[in-house]
Amino acid sequence: MTFRREGIIRRTVVSDTDGVLGDGFAVRTEGLFKLIYREGDHALQVGTEPLKGGAGRLVYLMGITSWAHPHEREALTHEQVYKIRTNILAALSFWRMKFESNWLPSSESKPIE
């Protein structure tokens, strides 16, 4: 997976490969409380919140269960959710953003149904 940075105000990390829909993906922050994951015309929102003392952000990856409107009825498989979560973690690591997550790849947690 190869990343590049885009944007100044809205910081974005882009990968041309490894998306669940066949192409690449992008991860972008939107304020202090949102992270947007996008693949083509599909997107989903992940909640975040700042940690005290500049310790980074808490990223709520367990909340990923489906795409946002207008694709919310397109079901994501367990494998797709896992891949999206690992893509987000990889992008944040590339970004060198300090973060904590409520999900780790080794947890093999299934999405909430």
* Predicted pLDDT of residue 112: 46
* Predicted pLDDT of residue 15: 95
Tokens read off for 18 = 């490894």
- For 11-68, the pLDDT digits (tens) are 899 999 999 998 999 999 888 889 999 999 999 999 999 888 878 889 999 989 899 9
DSSP letters along 11-73, please?
Answer: -EEEESS--TTSS-EEEEEETTTEEEEEETTEEEEEEEEEPGGG--EEE-GGG--BPPTTSTT
| pTM, entire model | 0.86
How far out from the chain centre does Cα 20 lie? 12
Which candidate, 61, 67, 24, 57, places its Cα nearest to that of 46? 61
Q: Is the pLDDT of residue 1 over 90?
A: no
